[in-house]
Amino acid sequence: MNSKLPLAPISITVYDRLDHLEQCLRSLTLNELAIDTELYIFSDAAKAGDEEKVNLVRDFCKKIDGFREVHLTFQSDNDYKKNMSDARVIPLRDHGRMIRMEDDNIVSPSFLTYMNEALEYYEDNPLVLAVSGYSPPIYQEKYTKYDVYLSKIFSAWTYATWSHKNVLGFCQVSAPHRDMTVNKLQDKVQSIHPSLCKSLKMIDAGIHYAPDQILTYFLIKHDYYQIKPVKSLVRNNGHDGSGINCGVSTHFDQPINAQITDPRLLEMEYVADIDMNQYKFFYPSFLVKVQRRVISLIRKLIMFKSNLF
């Protein structure tokens, strides 16, 4: 990578999962660019009963090294939405670009190189709203000859963006379902993400908080894209029952690509089949859910029997 390129800061939100944060930071420090990268940590204040675990995380954060500089924001009140918003707004305000992560993201040793090169390459491309290091294992290789592809389904499992693009503005829209209805975009949205209309309606009603789904809507509305790697540079480690929106599942356990990923697309061709396959991966049919459950139970049974001998 060109050493003269400005390195984007990393922004991570944390709460009470010390083990997850340790694994996340350990994977980041295996990147050669980490030592020259600024790190922002945003810690939400504890709910009643969580004080000890939150304080352990904060004590750990005070000792973080391996980065150019560490900026700590310890919220005084428990406010999940504010903490998430600060994690988006402050690094972008200070640097003009950022790499946004959660504490349950495990990344490849080539992750920071890929994200920074992508930020540089697509900075002036009006169609690219963001870049992600994550991609589900849906065999995108058969659709593209490049290392990356275009997607209209926004992934928040690591993303990078710029201050001059409208990610922050889109995230602040409180009535995306009404916007969709006024602009008569239901069919367009349904063709890419069949369950999104229902989620947007819940966001309008104030009973659902999902900036990534709002961003998916605006990607679809404006024909904007997020760049994603064919082979994922990120694994989400939060499906162990510890996350707010994640249940218990091994469905997302996938290998991380350690090889260098070229973020450049020489042809901006959108393949709708890839996004539909992504949708089916995250929103499987009832039959697929049953099949996955049976496979999971068989694996547990095999492990149980092996432990008996």
**pLDDT score, position 296:** 52
Burial of residue 173 (number of CB atoms within 10 Å: 0-12, 13-18, 19+): middle
Instruction: Say yes or no to pLDDT of 49 above 60.
Output: yes
Is 286 in contact with 240 (CB distance < 8 Å)?
no
Instruction: Say yes or no to pLDDT of 302 above 70.
Output: no
SS3 content of the chain, % helix, strand, coil (to 5): 40, 15, 40
**pLDDT score, position 4:** 61
Phi, psi of 122, deg, nearest 5: -100, 10
**pLDDT score, position 293:** 53
CA distance 134 to 131: 9
Question: C-alpha 104: how far from its chain's center?
Answer: 10
Is 44 in contact with 74 (CB distance < 8 Å)?
no
Is 78 in contact with 46 (CB distance < 8 Å)?
yes
User: Per residue in 156-214, pLDDT tens?
Assistant: 999 999 999 999 999 999 999 999 999 999 999 999 999 999 999 999 999 999 999 99
**pLDDT score, position 172:** 93
pTM over 0.85: yes
Nearest CA to 14 out of 67, 70, 69 is that of 70
Confidence of residue 308 (pLDDT cuts 50, 70, 90): low
**pLDDT score, position 286:** 47
Pairing mode of beta strands 69-74, 105-107: unpaired
Q: Output the CATH code of domain 10-308.
A: 3.90.550.10
